[in-house]
Structure formats: structure tokens, C-alpha cells
Amino acid sequence: MRCNIFSEEHEIFRRSVRNFVEKEIKPYATEWDEEGNFPVEIFKRLGELGFLGIKYPEKYGGSGLDFSYETVFIEEMARGGSLGMLLAILVQTDMATPAIYHFGTEEQKEKFLIPALKGEKIFAIGVTEPGAGSDVANIKTSARREGDYYIVNGSKTFITNGAIADYITLAVKTDPKKKHRGISLLIFDTKTEGFSIGSHIKKMGNWASNTAELFFDNCKVPAENLIGEENMGFYYIMKGFETERLSGVVMAQAAAEYALEIAINYAKEREAFGQKIINFQILRHRLVDLITEVEISKRFLYYVIDKYDSGEDTLTEITMAKLWIGELSIKVANEALQFLGGYGYTRDYPIERILRDVRLYTIGGGTSEIMREILGKKLLS
């Protein structure tokens, strides 16, 4: 396995993403964050450029590339300064649609996956409920089969894209007597009668992405919208977590690198006591420590991506990377802010936003405690 996964083709692709980010993301990132949303047309624009279907086959409108290209996309997008917008995009490409691709029917791929990769339709993933987050098997939202329909009742919370989604990849209980063996995944159309969106959840960071509470009151979902087999949903969710967590880790690593770059540039410019602050050995040494940690985690991450792309089982390594890099991104952003002194604490510089945004990375998509639990259980076997 390699620790450097990029070729000349990757660099050409990187330049095209960077070009787009410089022109169409960076100038607006602060405004989107302050306003608490971003134009949904970004989905369409990314679809037109082929950025939503990087790793999907060409027959569904994708580019048929591997995760190393997705990595380039995420790294460059993260540098655009709107991690909230990027979160919303990754929910579409890496969290809500993979289950349809891996386990859905050809009809479902035609009807739902293709428009999602074009950016014409927006997806959310609905797993978390007020009473069940880490404990996915304990979800209560029910889907009772009646003829050719499922009748869905219950609620979801913390759903990214929840207020703007056309469809939700929805986790439901189809057998309430069972825990994880009673869960199924449905493709839920948000135009369905009985569906409603609760109040906008105000968050610490990732302001540009909307996070919503959702309610389902006797919603009729066609049985043909079932993904894969009934009661196999927990397995599909766990399988999906692999890609979801990997893309989240790439975002965390890229955010840490971006934060560090801001600190280094600032230290080279800012003067105190008649000299650039980078001349203070204590600050240089602190930067060296951070650069070393970030470089080591990046090489491990590239090794994990290479292994993932080879088709080998990478669950353990992805779990380790999520745990390590999620926590590292918070440490790096926090320490990077210190280099900017009082300016770092203001909203005139992007560093306070990065710190608020990366705080999510030890919580969303599985907490650090759950990552330790997954890895710790291996010690018992």
C-alpha cells in the first residue's frame, strides 16, 4: 500500500477543482456561513462539472474513478472555506446515495441516483432520532406494510439537508420486535403527505448547512422504494458508514491542513517586539510539532485510501483514522487560532469558523467513543 496516491492525472483534476473553488466558492464562503445557508444551485453546478459522480460508474452519469479522486475533490473543496457547504454535498454523494448504488434496483438507480449525481435532486440521510443516535438499532420510526405501501410514522433529528432535500434515504423499523434485524431503508419523497419539517436547529458550526428535525405522520411510501431487502437496513447503514466516515476523515484532514497553513502564513507576516512572530523559537517549535502530526496522519490516511481503493476490508483502519484525525483536526484548529492572537478570535479571519466547524468531527457520523468501542471490541475477540 502506498502513502502517496496521486498521479499527474490527479494533479490535472486538482487544478480544475481548485479553479472552480477559487471562482465559485471562496468569494462567497463567509457570506453563506453568516446567512446560514448556501444557494442550492451549487448542487447543479457541481453536477454539471461531474464532481458529484466522481466514483460512480459512467452508466449512472459518474466518472468511474476511485476514491483517490474523491479525495482530491474533498481536499480542494475544504480549502474553499465553507466546510458547512461541503458537508451538505458529501451527504449527497457519500452518505445518502451509496446505499441506492450498492443495494438498490436498476429502476431506483435510474429514478433516484442519476438525478442526484446530476445535482438535479437533493438527498438527505435520515438515521438519527431524538431517542437514538449512537444506538442506531434503537430507532423507533416505524414503517408498517399495507398492500403496496409502507405507512411511516415517527421523527428524525439532526438531518443535514433535511429542510432542502427532495428525497431522504430513511432508516425505519419494519419489525418493531427486533433491534438491528428489524431495520430497513426506504427512499422517502419529501412531497409525501404527512411529512413536515420542524424548526431549524441552531448549531455551533457548519452554519451554511441546514440541520433539521423531520416528522412523519402516516406517510405512504410505495413498497418499490424499499432499498434491497426488508430488515437488512442496519447492515446497509453499517456498510455505508465506511465510505461516509472515510470522506468525513478526508474533510477533517484537509481542514486541519488549511488551519495550519493560515497559522504559518500569519506567523510569517505578523510582527511583535520588532520582529516577525515566526522568529520566536517557541512558536516555530509549536508549528513543527503540528506540521509533524498533520503529515503523519495524512500519510496514514493515504495508506487507508489506497487500501480502500484496492477493495480490501478497511473498516479497522477507517475507524482508526476517524478517531485520530477527527480529534487532531480540533487540536490543530484550536492551536492554529492561538497564532492569530485576538484576530483569530474575530469573524474577520476564517480560523474561528474552522474551529467551530471541525468540532463536529468527533461527533457526526459516529462519535469518538463509538470509534473506540468498535476498535476496543476487537480486543475481546
Ligand X SMILES: Cc1cc2nc3c(=O)[nH]c(=O)nc-3n(C[C@H](O)[C@H](O)[C@H](O)COP(=O)(O)OP(=O)(O)OC[C@H]3O[C@@H](n4cnc5c(N)ncnc54)[C@H](O)[C@@H]3O)c2cc1C
Q: Shortest Cβ distance from residue 303 to ligand X (Å)?
A: 26
Q: Does 52 bind ligand X (CB under 6 A)?
A: no
| CA 279, 282, 283, 287 torsion-angle sign | positive
Q: Does 160 bind ligand X (CB under 6 A)?
A: yes
**Which residue's CB is nearer to ligand X, number 81 or number 84?**
84
Q: Does 365 bind ligand X (CB under 6 A)?
A: yes
Backbone angles phi, psi at 83, to 5 degrees: -65, -25
**Which residue's CB is nearer to ligand X, number 33 or number 309?**
33
Q: Which of 75, 76, 213, 244 is catalytic?
A: 244
CA 58 to chain centre: 23
State which H helix or E strand residue 227 sits in: strand 226-227
Q: Which residue is nearest to ligand X (CB)?
A: 133
- What's the count of helices (H) and strands (E) in the chain, helices before strands? 14, 10
Among 20, 69, 158, 324, binds ligand X (CB under 6 A): 158
Neighbour tally for 203: CB within 10 Å: 17
Interface segment toward ligand X; rule CB under 6 A; list 11-19, 55-63, 227-235, 366-374 = 366-374
**Which residue's CB is nearer to ligand X, number 133 or number 228?**
133
Q: Is 244 a catalytic residue?
A: yes
Candidates 207, 159, 158, 200; CA nearest to 352 is 207
Q: Shortest Cβ distance from residue 356 to ligand X (Å)?
A: 11
Binding to ligand X (CB under 6 A) within 187-216 occurs at 203, 206, 211
SS3 of residue 183 by DSSP: strand
Q: Does 122 bind ligand X (CB under 6 A)?
A: no
Binding to ligand X (CB under 6 A) within 134-153 occurs at 134
| CA 219, 223, 225, 228 torsion-angle sign | positive
Interface segment toward ligand X; rule CB under 6 A; list 1-9, 97-105, 293-301, 359-367 = 359-367
Task: Assess contact for 248 and 254: CB atoms under 8 A.
Answer: no
Give the binding-site size for ligand X (rule: CB under 6 A).
23
For residues 65 to 104, the per-residue mask of contacts with ligand X, x marking binding by CB under 6 A and - elsewhere, is --------------------------x-------------
CA distance 86 to 377: 32
CA distance 237 to 245: 12
Report how far apart, in Å, the C-alpha atoms of 76 and of each of 13, 203, 334, 371 are.
Answer: 10, 25, 21, 27
Q: Shortest Cβ distance from residue 211 to ligand X (Å)?
A: 5
Residue numbers annotated as active site:
244
Q: Which residues of this protein are in contact with ligand X, per CB under 6 A?
A: 91, 124-128, 133-134, 158-160, 203, 206, 211, 360, 363-367, 369-370, 373
